[in-house]
Every structure is written in C-alpha cells, then in structure tokens.
Amino acid sequence: MKHFYSHYLLVFALLAGAALSASAYDFQDGDIVYLINDDGTTATVTYMVKQNKENYAGITEINIPTTATDPATGKTYDVTTIGSYAFYSNNSITKITIPPSITKMETAAFGSLSKLKQIHITDLKRWCEITFAAATANPFYGGSKMLYLNGEVVTDLTIPAGVTTIMPYAFYRCNMATLNVGNDVNLIRSEAFKQCTNLMTVTIGGNVKTLGNDVFSGCNKLASITFPESVDSIGNSCFVNCKNLTDVVLPDAIDYIAEGLFDGCSGLTSVHLPASLKILGNISFRACKAMQIIEFPYGATTILQSAFYNCTALDSIALPPTVANIEYHAFYNTAWLNRQPQGLIYIGNVALGYRGTVPEGTSIKLRDNTVGVGERAFYQQAGLKSITLPYTVVALGDNSFGYCSGLTEVHAQMNHAIEMGYINTVTHEWTVFNQLDYDNCTLYVPKGLKSMYENSWLRWARFTHIVEENVLAGDVNGDGKVNVSDVTTLIGMILGTRPVDLEAADIMKDGKVNVSDVTALINLILGTSIFND
C-alpha cells in the first residue's frame, strides 16, 4: 500500500509538470498567449513555457490588454479571464496591469510570484466584482503587495459607489492601511481582506448586512472597526488573530456569535455583546488573553465548546438566568474558573461542573433555580450516588452524568421530560447518562408524571425503574394537576383569602410568595421556563 501511494504521488507530479510544460494555447499576441473561450468571442490568458524555463521567463512587466488579436485569423477577442497557472511560479515579474474587462481569475493564476510588488488597475468597481476561484487566483496572493489605481498607490481604500458585493479574495493580502466600505455595499464575502497585515482601521457602510467567513482574519495590525446596526451576520473566524484589536461593539441584530470569530485576538479587552444574542459559538473568544470582563445580555441561551478557552485574565462573567446550555471547556483556564474552590461550581444558574473528586456515596441536590447542567459536569465521577434535578432545569449537557458508575438514584423534579442528549453511534447510549447502569438506577419523578417519563422513549424511558415520589411543582391546590385552578389558589394565598402553603406556593424558591410566583406558575402551565421570555 505504501509503494502504491508513492507511485500515485509520482504520477500526479508528472501529470502536473506536463500540464505546465505543454504550452497548449490558441494564439499569441505580444508577450501573452491565449485560449479562445467556448463562446468564440472572448479569450483567456494562459501559461507559456519556453525551453523548460519558468512561466513567462525573463518578463518583468505584464500589461494584459482589454482585447487580443489572433495574428493567424485577424480576429479580435475580448480578454475576460486569467486562466489557471497563467503566471504560476514566475520569478521575474514585478508589475502587472489588469484591465476592467477581466471578470474571472482561475486557481493558481498568480501562485508563487516571488518578485511581484505592484498590481495596477483602472476600475476599482470592476475589480470588486471579479470572480476569484481561490486565493491563489489573486495577484495579491504570496505576500503584501501594493495596489495602484490609475497610476496612484492606494493605501487608504474606499469602496466606490455602485459596488453591492465585495467578492471572495478580492483584496487578499493587499497592502493598505485604512478601509472605508461604501454605503452601497450589502455583502462582504469570505476572505475579501484576509491577511491584509498593514490594515489598521475599518469603517463599514450603513447598508452592509453580512460579512462572510475569514473576512479580516490575520489582519494583525487592525486596531479599530466600526459596525453599522445593519449588520446581522458575521461569518466564522472573521477576526482570527487580529492581535491589535482592543475594543469591539457588535451590532444588536446579531443573535449568533460565529465559531472562532475572535479566536487569538490577544489584545481584545472589551466586547459589547449584541442585545439579540442567543448563542456564542465554539472557540469564539479562545485565547483572548487581555479580556477581563464579559457580560451577556438577557435572552442569551447557549455557550458552545471552548468559547473562552485560555482567556487567562477573564475574571468577571455575568450570565443572565436565560443561559442554560454551557458546553465543555467553555471557560477553561480563565482566571474566574481557576479561583473556584473544590466542589460543585456554578456559573449563573448552571451547574458547570465539579472540581476535584466526588466522595464515594455522595448525594447532591442541585440548588433551586438551576436551569442547566454543563457538558461533562459530573463526567466519570464514580462517587456520585444520587442526583436531584430541580423542576427549573431545562437543559442537560452532553455526558453531564456520563460514566458515573456509582449513580443509583436520579430524582427528576421537572414537569417536562427534557432531552437526554443524542445517541452515541458507537455505544448506542443516550449521552447525558452515557454508560449508566439503567437496571440498577432508579428514576424518581413527580407524582402523576410516571407515564410521561415512560413514554418519552427518546429521553427517559431507558430507565428500568421509574417511581413517583415528588410533590408536583406548581400543584398549589394539591389535586395532582397543574392548571389554571392552581393560579387561582395561589392568588388567594397572596391576597390572604387562603392559608399559605410555602412549600407548594413558593414557585421561585426564594422564601416568599408573591406575584413573581404567579408568573412562574403561568409559565409552567404554558410549558416554558420560568427564566425565559
């Protein structure tokens, strides 16, 4: 097998070399060779190899014309495309001029041009609209190069009127200092300004709605970016390794912080999270080592894996009670987590995990108003014998009780059979209680709800023994049901017309019976969390 693989690589290399040495083209006009496109009216700039030397060997300046004429036929073609490998691996070209007639550049058209420093164009709007097949299709690829517009070097780039979309890779590695995106633009596509290593300031026009993946990743001098409120979507890894970025205010319309959005932004100290935020993506702030404070808006629900991984200075984290889902390593090696004592750790109303080893035979009752249990919160804690989940719990993280070999009792006080994770394709286990000995673990549920738990085959029916024991949360009048009559009874207790039963009526578990308990009870009846809108 190893020999076969080596032979395959050899054959591939020979075929690639043959492709670049065949010099198959339809005609030559001046220094440049062309292929005639299928439409019969346009032409593609292609590659030329002479006597096994590099592509277009010895030529220092390339001026691609708007049209080219076949000397054999006298027919003139519009030059619209720069083809694959057209100038690949040239070590002599220092300057190239590209006309506005070009609409497409193909893969590796400008790969490995070690001496190319100047890219000259005459129409910036047309440049923004070119389809680049890959990063290597763009002449800026391979190092920080200067853009010249009508003979003048561009360091402060303003996207002109009429441009609605900036295409992928349009200014990849372009050498500019400032960027002003015009008000006509509504979409900046993936990697449009990736690795512009001298870019320091960005202002985005008031009609931009979407930034694609990696738009500014690797812009390590970027210190300032201003977003309009029109932006409602920012793609994955958009600001990866923007190490000089210190302060960011995200538009309020964004409800999802994309994966890796500020990954490696080691200088970031302040981030205003959007008011509409629901989900914080994987590694979204990983290694933001200068960040000390983060505050989530009310309504946020989920923090995904490693979101603040290695944010070593992060010491103040404000979570609203709406956050119920927190995935593994979300706060790994943060100052906040590192100073937590041994034992059960809470963040907001989520039981995040257990620091240290749970002593053998331990029973844990999660505190009242717990809304979630973090991913792997009690993973492999063999000493855990019994766990009590209060009725306020709405989310259990993947493997939150995985491999708890000593677990024999689960007391579920919820009036709803919440999700048990997903089926592991290897073990075929529901992942919340992964590898639990269901035959030797009893599930205790509220009175009157055994059938609900038994019939929820996608959630709790794996338990062999299901026993009713708990007072039904919200059953204020004690009839075994939770409905409008309980609201009437509760209001009577508050008004003093009925005796107060604190255990049944204190829905919020704050030692008081008041209007907030009525709101919580109504939410229970409607099947929503007491902490959600």
Domain count across the chain: 3
pLDDT, tens digit, 9 for 90 and up, residues 116-163: 999 999 999 999 999 999 999 999 997 778 999 999 999 999 999 999
Token match 């002479």: residue? 50
Task: Tell me, yes or no, whether 26 and 135 share the same domain.
Answer: yes
Task: Tell me, yes or no, whether 38 and 118 share the same domain.
Answer: yes
Would residue 225 count as lying in a domain?
Answer: no
Cβ neighbours of residue 126 closer than 8 Å, sequence gap 6 or more? 100, 102
pLDDT value at residue 50 = 59
pLDDT value at residue 17 = 45
Task: Tell me, yes or no, whether 518 and 441 share the same domain.
Answer: no
Say if strands 395-396 and 76-82 run parallel, antiparallel, or are unpaired: unpaired
The first and second tokens of residue 352, run together, are: 């995040």
| 362 neighbors 384 (Cβ within 8 angstroms) | yes
Task: Tell me, yes or no, whether 107 and 83 share the same domain.
Answer: yes
Task: Tell me, yes or no, whether 149 and 23 share the same domain.
Answer: yes
Would residue 259 count as lying in a domain?
Answer: no
Q: Which helix (H) or strand (E) holds 395?
A: strand 395-396
Task: Tell me, yes or no, whether 54 and 146 share the same domain.
Answer: yes
Task: Tell me, yes or no, whether 466 and 504 share the same domain.
Answer: no
Last residue in a domain, options 125, 153, 181? 153
User: Strands across the sheet with 325-326, in order?
Assistant: 256-257, 279-280, 302-303, 325-326
Domain that holds residue 463: 356-470
pLDDT, tens digit, 9 for 90 and up, residues 287-322: 999 999 999 999 999 999 999 999 999 999 999 999
Of 288, 243, 297, nearest in space to 270 by CA: 288
Task: Tell me, yes or no, whether 505 and 398 share the same domain.
Answer: no
Confidence bin at 5 (pLDDT 50/70/90): very low
Would residue 465 count as lying in a domain?
Answer: yes
Q: What is the DSSP letter of 490?
A: H
Would residue 518 count as lying in a domain?
Answer: yes
Would residue 160 count as lying in a domain?
Answer: no
Using the CB atoms, write b or e for 342-368: b if 16+ within 10 Å.
eebbebbbbbbbbeeebeeeeebebee
Task: Tell me, yes or no, whether 393 and 497 share the same domain.
Answer: no
Helix axes 515-526, 484-495, angle to 10 degrees: 180
Last residue in a domain, options 153, 187, 204? 153
pLDDT value at residue 51 = 53
Of 331, 324, 343, nearest in space to 531 by CA: 324
Give dist(CA 124, CA 119) in Å, integer. 12
The first and second tokens of residue 274, run together, are: 């959007």
This prediction's pTM? 0.84
Q: Which helix (H) or strand (E) holds 410?
A: strand 409-412
pLDDT, tens digit, 9 for 90 and up, residues 173-186: 999 999 999 999 99
Lowest mean pLDDT among 81-90, 138-147, 288-297, 478-487: 478-487
Task: Tell me, yes or no, whether 488 and 425 share the same domain.
Answer: no
Confidence bin at 495 (pLDDT 50/70/90): confident
Would residue 190 count as lying in a domain?
Answer: no
Across-strand partners of 293? Answer: 316
**If DSSP codes are grouped into helix, strand and coil, which group holds residue 225?**
strand
Task: Tell me, yes or no, whether 23 and 147 share the same domain.
Answer: yes
What's the length of the chain? 533
The first and second tokens of residue 93, run together, are: 């070209």
The first and second tokens of residue 26, run together, are: 């339809």
The first and second tokens of residue 210, run together, are: 């979407």
DSSP E strands in 172-306: the ranges are 178-181, 187-188, 201-204, 210-211, 224-226, 233-234, 247-249, 256-257, 270-272, 279-280, 293-295, 302-303
Span 49-59, mean pLDDT? Answer: 73
Task: Tell me, yes or no, whether 39 and 125 share the same domain.
Answer: yes
Would residue 327 count as lying in a domain?
Answer: no
CA-to-CA separations, 380 to 165, 353, 377, in angstroms, rounded: 51, 12, 9
Would residue 325 count as lying in a domain?
Answer: no
Last residue in a domain, options 153, 173, 190? 153
| 255 neighbors 276 (Cβ within 8 angstroms) | yes
Using the CB atoms, write b or e for 477-496: b if 16+ within 10 Å.
beeeebeeebbebbbbbbee
* DSSP-assigned letters across all residues of 325-366: EE-TTTTTT-HHHHTPPSEEEEETTEEEEEES-PPTTEEEEP
Give dist(CA 342, CA 324) in Å, integer. 22
> Rg of the chain's alpha carbons, rounded to an integer?
32
**463: domain CATH number?**
3.80.10.10
